[in-house]
Structure 1
Amino acid sequence: MRLSIITDTFPPDVNGVALTLRRLQSELTKLGHEVTVLMPYQLYEDGLKEATKRIRAGEIVSEPVPEPPITIQALPLPGYKGLRFGLPSKQLLVPFWRKPSNRPDLIYVATESPLGFSAVQAARKLNIPAVSGFHTNFHTYMADYNLAMLEDMAADYLRMVHNQTLATFAPSDDVIAQLTKDGFHNVRRLGRGVDTERFSPNLRDEALRAEWGAGPNDPVMLYVGRVAPEKNMPLFFKAYDAVKADHPSAKAVVVGGGPKLDDYKKKRPDIHFAGMRKREELARHYASGDVFAFPSTTETFGNVILEAMASGVTPVAYNYAAGKAYIRSGENGYAPEFNQPDAFVHAIRQAMDRAFDQPLRTAALETAQSLSWASVADQFLDDLRDIVENWEYTKDSAARKQTTPAL
């Protein structure tokens, strides 16, 4: 199968969408499929700069950012330094896909930006089947950025874009149920895996813990993700304050960058803010924590939960998305009732009481080890084949009706 992926984000960006798309591209390519990634050209330039830096540092760069075959421009995303959204590019995409050597069997639109919507329009013009991915609850972010009055408008736009494709892929059952309820058509599941070679408890680093001020017996409460309004970080701080009453030697570490980083660093000098970490450094940070605290209420999945579990760290996350799918409270982590702050704090206190409970951490690791990206790619392919076959059957039926005389 020849597949085109349209996206505004891809490594070297560090976020769940970018890393998911990279893994899908890698797994599908291993299976012999041709995958072209169409993204803003600036991402490719960023990737070249990062690869050059890593090569000069003596690292091996095994997965360079693919050079886009066409130059798509982008603008900065307000509130997120370094992130961009692609501009409408139908006038570029149509002639590119019209050439037989470039025409894909199917188009996967991963982001609903002006670039993504223009890709849907181009696909319709050229009669190429297109599907889409619901990776981010953008409309629910509006209130966090003082734009609550735009939430309904944003939701209507997302539904309009997705319903012009043959199917929408979402990462968890509860998101599928919500999208279906909200009027999205033909919503299917595109799950997530985790790389248990990259993320491993074997990477636990006592020297790194010492940098955090944590000794071997001091429990560490960890957060990994964007440091942004929609991630509900004040609840992380509240939970840490409660933990300190139980465990005065406990430490808290926040890994990630974002628009609230500088503000939180000033307000919480008692917490170690490690900033953005990538690859091996990120994996070491995960493995060196004890309890992973994830208070977000806006996820479509939450890849970081699986990465923490693969690192042998006890996860605490609300009972929805990945938390609902994979955490069994008291057995391999804690999943308090959704959007109940007191329940979340209580769960954190329980987890920190068991910070060095090896059976709990081993159960988290075993859960992660059962979730491979290869199986995710296989299921995705099965769905894509089914969609294309139904589309071709429907198209052929319509053609027959037009050419068959009425009796």
Structure 2
Amino acid sequence: MRVGLFTDTYFPQISGVATSIKTLKTELEKLGHEVFIFTAAEKNIRIDDDPTIIRLPSVPFVAFSERRVVYSGLSSAYKIAKEHHLDIIHTQTEFSVGIFGWMIGKELGIPVVHTYHTHYEDYVHYIAKGRLIRPGMVKYFVRNFLKDCDGVICPSRIVLNILDSYRVKIPKRIIPTGIELEQYKRPEIQEADILALRQELGIASDDTMLLSLSRISYEKNIQAVLRALPEVIAENPKVKCVVVGSGPYLDDLKDLVAALGLDDHVIFTGMIAQEMTAYYYKAADFLVSASTSETQGLTYTESLVSGTPIIAHSNSYLEDLLDCPMFGYLYDDSEGITQAILNAIADTPRMTEECLTHKLYEISSERFALSVYELYIDAIISKEYQVSTSPFALDGKKKYTHIKLMRNTFGVPSTLVRTTAQTSVRVLKTPKLLVDRIRTVSLRDRDSDD
């Protein structure tokens, strides 16, 4: 099978979405499939060494300067997709490259499935401080994007519930993102290595190390963990918290630590190398999180693979994941994180090999890829049936008009388009250029086919 993954974010950008896409590509290729990634060009990366990664011209997005938005390259992407005879397109983001994927899939008459990764209602405050887009507007955008897709992957029960509440009607399937177990099992990491890292961080062997590992932004709610620490330390002075990562809220957290007098109990490391994350997981006694914005959270599964239990705010995803007391402790708002930390330290049993082995298979990248492949097969069969029975079918191929295509392209609020255009005038021209270019390229290809 030949698969096209269309995404606005990919490495070297660091995010859960990028990790999920790389994992899927790697595992599908192990199964013998061809996988092409269509994504935004980075500032210093126009062409990858890997020819299956196609970079399209982009500029920084107005609200997230570290993220990119593609403004051109639709005709090139269409040609590449057509030349490689893609069987299916899998979009991973809902913006420029995701729209490209949807348009190309419809023009080629192949299925388009989507993974809904991000709960945008928690992020609209980044755009004009929430004055431009309200949380209640998100459902209309998402519903419009998904309505003509052939299926959507929900990484968790949380996402399924969100899309149901948005009245998304297309087929939905829960498929949690798997992880490459060997990156975090790491049997070569010895007890001496763990002790050396703890000593480097200033954490004694009898201290309880809490680990926060994520992008440091307001919605991650690391501040709630820090505010809980004074009461925790009053009960258990051997508790220390290591905050790994960087982001726009880092300075605020440092100020909070100083204000709370926690300088001897909180260690900020900044960004660390990817290969070092397993060391930090294994050195920690618990991964701790107070975030309520996660639809999945790969750090949770990474921590379990490393053998480290979790303390986190309860949600339906984590209730499914932490189905055994040894995997960690969940709390709700009525209890609070202070008591949760103290209870977890006192009551969490040690992990057993039997339970952990079963859990590792559940969250493995191999199982993830097989589940996604099964969805691809179902989508292809369903598409072939729809085409064969459609009154618009001609010689077994469905001919698409551009009326619906244009309507969906302009489904994004015009105010959002204008705001994005502040980054680059070229972005403002994108919607019309999208339609014009794909019309020109597809008509030229059809004429040549005739």
What range describes the TM-score normalised by the shorter chain of this pair?
A: 0.7 to 0.9
Distance 2:356 2:257 in 1: 30
**Map of 2:38 onto structure 1:** 38
Aligned pair in 2 of structure 1 residues 47, 215: CA closer, same or farther (>3 Å)? farther
**Map of 2:86 onto structure 1:** 104
**Map of 2:121 onto structure 1:** 139
**Map of 1:15 onto structure 2:** 15
Post-superposition offset of 1:288: 0.7
Post-superposition offset of 1:267: 2.9
Distance 1:78 1:127 in 2: 34
Match of 1:223 among 209, 212, 223: 212
**Map of 1:116 onto structure 2:** 98
Residues 58 and 72, structure 2, Cα contact 8 Å, conserved in 1: no
The letter for the 2-side match of 1:194 is: I
Distance 1:151 1:87 in 2: 26
Residues 9 and 43, structure 1, Cα contact 8 Å, conserved in 2: no
The letter for the 1-side match of 2:176 is: G
Post-superposition offset of 1:147: 0.8
5 Å-filtered alignment, 1:72-111, equals 72-78=56-62, 80=64, 82-87=66-71, 89-98=73-82, 101-111=83-93
Answering whether residue 164 of structure 2 is matched by residue 180 of structure 1, we say yes
Residues 214 and 250, structure 1, Cα contact 8 Å, conserved in 2: no
Distance 1:298 1:216 in 2: 33
Answering whether residue 324 of structure 2 is matched by residue 324 of structure 1, we say no
**Map of 1:254 onto structure 2:** 243
Residues 235 and 341, structure 1, Cα contact 8 Å, conserved in 2: no
Aligned pair in 2 of structure 1 residues 401, 395: CA closer, same or farther (>3 Å)? closer
The letter for the 1-side match of 2:251 is: D
Distance 2:183 2:312 in 1: 22
Larger mean CA deviation between 83-92 and 273-282 belongs to: 83-92
Post-superposition offset of 1:336: 1.9
Post-superposition offset of 1:91: 3.5
Distance 1:254 1:327 in 2: 23
Post-superposition offset of 1:395: 0.4
The letter for the 1-side match of 2:130 is: L
Post-superposition offset of 1:268: 1.7
Q: Deviations over 1:223-270 (max 9, x none)?
A: 111100111122111232332112112110011111111232233252
Answering whether residue 149 of structure 2 is matched by residue 165 of structure 1, we say yes
Distance 1:182 1:174 in 2: 13
Root-mean-square deviation over aligned CA pairs: 2.7
Distance 1:105 1:167 in 2: 15
Post-superposition offset of 1:143: 4.1
Post-superposition offset of 1:361: 9.9
Distance 1:131 1:222 in 2: 36
Post-superposition offset of 1:354: 4.7
Distance 1:8 1:162 in 2: 16
Q: Deviations over 1:66-120 (max 9, x none)?
A: 346654122224564533233364333333333xx32311000001112211321
Post-superposition offset of 1:18: 0.7
Residues 299 and 321, structure 1, Cα contact 8 Å, conserved in 2: no
**Map of 2:359 onto structure 1:** 367
> Which structure carries more relative contact order (alpha carbon 8 Å, separation 6+)?
2
Match of 1:274 among 261, 269, 284: 269
Distance 1:102 1:289 in 2: 46
Between the aligned residues of both structures, percent identity stands at 25
Distance 1:11 1:401 in 2: 40
Query: Moved runs in structure 1, 4+ residues, more than 6 A?
Result: 400-403
Aligned pair in 2 of structure 1 residues 111, 373: CA closer, same or farther (>3 Å)? same
**Map of 2:400 onto structure 1:** none
Aligned pair in 2 of structure 1 residues 369, 260: CA closer, same or farther (>3 Å)? same
Distance 1:304 1:312 in 2: 12
3-state SS of 1:335 partner: strand
TM (normalized to structure 2)? 0.77
Aligned pair in 2 of structure 1 residues 371, 119: CA closer, same or farther (>3 Å)? closer
Larger mean CA deviation between 37-46 and 240-249 belongs to: 37-46
**Map of 1:197 onto structure 2:** 182
Distance 2:105 2:393 in 1: 23
> Where in structure 2 are there 5+ consecutive unaligned residues?
396-450
Distance 1:365 1:209 in 2: 27
| Aligned positions, number | 382
Post-superposition offset of 1:278: 2.9
3-state SS of 2:331 partner: coil
Match of 2:279 among 271, 280, 284: 284
3-state SS of 1:10 partner: coil
Distance 1:67 1:43 in 2: 18
